[in-house]
Amino acid sequence: MQRRTLLHRASAVLTGLAAGTTLLALSAPAALAQARRTPPVMEVWKDPLCGCCDDWITYLEKNGFSVRAFDTGNIAARQRLGVPEQYGSCHTALVGGYVVEGHVPAADIHRLLRERPAALGLSVPGMPIGSPGMDGPLFGGRRDPFHVLLLGRDGSSRIWASYHQPPAGAATAQPPANGADAGAAAATATDRDGRPWVEAEVRRVDRSNRRVSLRHGPIPNLEMGGMTMVFQLSDPALLEQLQQGQRIRFSAALIQGEYTVMQIAPLP
């Protein structure tokens, strides 16, 4: 009788877990089993408008993590935790004393927590298309190669894992040589660094604040729909190329939490 009750409870627990509900009252054995399986808690700092951050969080929750997300304080968290700028992405997380920057696969984080190397943490710099959270329908199944880096506390890094690498010996696409940029860029779907080109109309050029307002089409790598938005510029010299009313192609990225125009090309 008692055994049957326990089994009953166990199946209720499983049902509850499957439904994703919070269990408030567990029987003692179930609570013990549950404690052993308690998912690591990860804190994530991100921008409230960051769709790919939300997708990454949803993915982590499906892959063994419990996430506490903060919609502000991303830049401050990155600085406080000591992530050098070149390893930055759109969100910064902390789990088990380690920093996790950007769209890092769950398996690499589990391995980090298991092996516990002397390190700052892991990073996937930028926002590679095809990484977890950057693989929604908008990206049409595109899988760009990327590395997960193990960051040292001294600012160094080494490769922890690699994904979607071209097979050995395969010809790798070379970026167009400088000087041939404009023509080649206009003829391709991505900029020199593989970010998708987006068509836009320049609405306003704010030279004193070094910002530009663009009415743009969807930006797949930022999971942003078409809208009018203000961007900062990766290089202030880009301002000189922009005039109100002009039609352009541009690429964008999230740099230190700010939407940033990375490159500009004439429309074909």
Residues that bind Cu ion (CB under 5 A): 52, 90, 127
Q: How far is the CB of 169 from Cu ion (least distance, A)?
A: 32
Q: Which is nearer to Cu ion, 81 or 184 (CB)?
A: 81
Q: Which is nearer to Cu ion, 9 or 139 (CB)?
A: 139
Task: Find, among 60, 71, 88, the residue nearest to 253 by Cα.
Answer: 88
Q: Which is nearer to Cu ion, 90 or 151 (CB)?
A: 90
Task: Find, among 196, 208, 207, the residue nearest to 251 by Cα.
Answer: 196
Rounded-to-integer distance, Cα 130 and Cα 103, Å: 10
Task: Find, among 212, 207, 193, the residue nearest to 251 by Cα.
Answer: 193
User: How far, in Å, are 56, 246, 250 from residue 241 at the CA level?
Assistant: 35, 10, 12
Q: How far is the CB of 209 from Cu ion (least distance, A)?
A: 25
Q: How far is the CB of 44 from Cu ion (least distance, A)?
A: 11
Structure tokens at 101: 């920057």
Q: Which is nearer to Cu ion, 130 or 152 (CB)?
A: 130
Q: Which is nearer to Cu ion, 206 or 258 (CB)?
A: 258
Q: How far is the CB of 124 from Cu ion (least distance, A)?
A: 9
- The answer to whether residues 221 and 127 touch, using CB atoms and an 8 Å cutoff, is yes
Rounded-to-integer distance, Cα 83 and Cα 98, Å: 11
The amino acid that residue 148 corresponds to is V
Q: How far is the CB of 263 from Cu ion (least distance, A)?
A: 19
Structure tokens at 69: 């997300």
